[in-house]
Homo-oligomer: A and B are copies of this chain.
């Protein structure tokens, strides 16, 4: 197939009494980094399904009677993805306009793809409303451009959730080390020692700059900087906790060059551990 056919050729065009689902990215946490469209949808949706990732400032803008927290159930265990999928379909079949709000961008490690498929299988009309991914916007706000003509002609965003020492790990850290671009690890606080070691063993220079940004763009943002060989100690010294992103590559060193000129909104979120 090359081009694509018009809607008539596809089976699931919804009837008018079915609601809609918008898979919406919240961005990294600063409400001003919501898109115009996301903000409008949050104001007009019948119900917003969310977890904790969009952060307190954004969640506080949504009236409680239109919010449904699917991040945790009563006994503290995570709501299953199957429940969320079914709930989205159920609400749409009640004719509701539903926002499924996700931290960052809905398609970057957000199960957005699974929800898209489930909605399509059940004939629920949906749209994807992109958000600023913290993988790119987080470093940017902190003074780190993820690409730079002199330093990095690619950026790879990867999850640090998996154990890189396991044989079945689907992330090939050696190949990433060889690719030579910037690497941004999401959800990579706990396994930092494993994947920094894997990258060094994969041939990456141990002196490669690394920065960790905790709660990027939130008022409580914290940053730790170091190198592939020192960042674990820096993480512990600063006390970086999840959620945080790890930026690996020469570009991570630019922050220290430019920090002095950054406007207070960006720069004042620094933690001084001197």
Residues of A participating in the B interface, judged by any CB pair closer than 8 Å: 1-7, 10-14, 20, 27-28, 30-37, 39-40, 105-109, 111-114, 116-117, 119-120, 123-133, 136-137, 139-141, 143-151, 153-159, 162, 170-172, 175-176, 178-181, 222-226, 230, 233-234, 237-238, 251, 254, 256-268, 270-274
Contacts and interface: CB of A to CB of B under 8 A. Distances in A.
A6 B269 CA distance: 9
B262 A126 contact: yes
Nearest to A151: B113
Scoring A36, A113, A251 by chain B CB atoms within 10 A of each residue's CB, the highest score goes to A113
A178 B114 CA distance: 25
Contacts of A126: 258, 261-263
B157 A154 contact: yes
A140 B112 contact: yes
A124 B261 contact: yes
Given A2-B224, A7-B267, A120-B257, A128 B105 contact: no
A173 to B, nearest CB: 9
A253 to B, nearest CB: 10
Scoring A109, A145, A265 by chain B CB atoms within 10 A of each residue's CB, the highest score goes to A145
Contacts of A33: 35-37, 129-130
Contacts of A226: 1-2
Contacts of A133: 133, 136
Contacts of A10: 259-261
A5 to B, nearest CB: 5
Contacts of A223: 3-4
A117 B4 contact: no
Contacts of A144: 107
A31 B2 CA distance: 29
Contacts of A263: 20, 125-127
Contacts of A140: 105-107, 112, 128, 130
A215 to B, nearest CB: 15
17 contacts: A5-B272, A7-B260, A12-B260, A27-B130, A32-B37, A33-B37, A107-B145, A113-B148, A120-B257, A125-B263, A126-B261, A130-B136, A132-B132, A154-B157, A155-B156, A156-B179, A175-B180
Q: Give me the 6 closest cross-chain CB pairs, A-B, nearest first.
A: A10-B260, A130-B137, A113-B145, A3-B273, A107-B145, A2-B234
Nearest to A108: B147
A116 B162 contact: no
Contacts of A132: 35, 105, 130-132
A26 B15 CA distance: 35
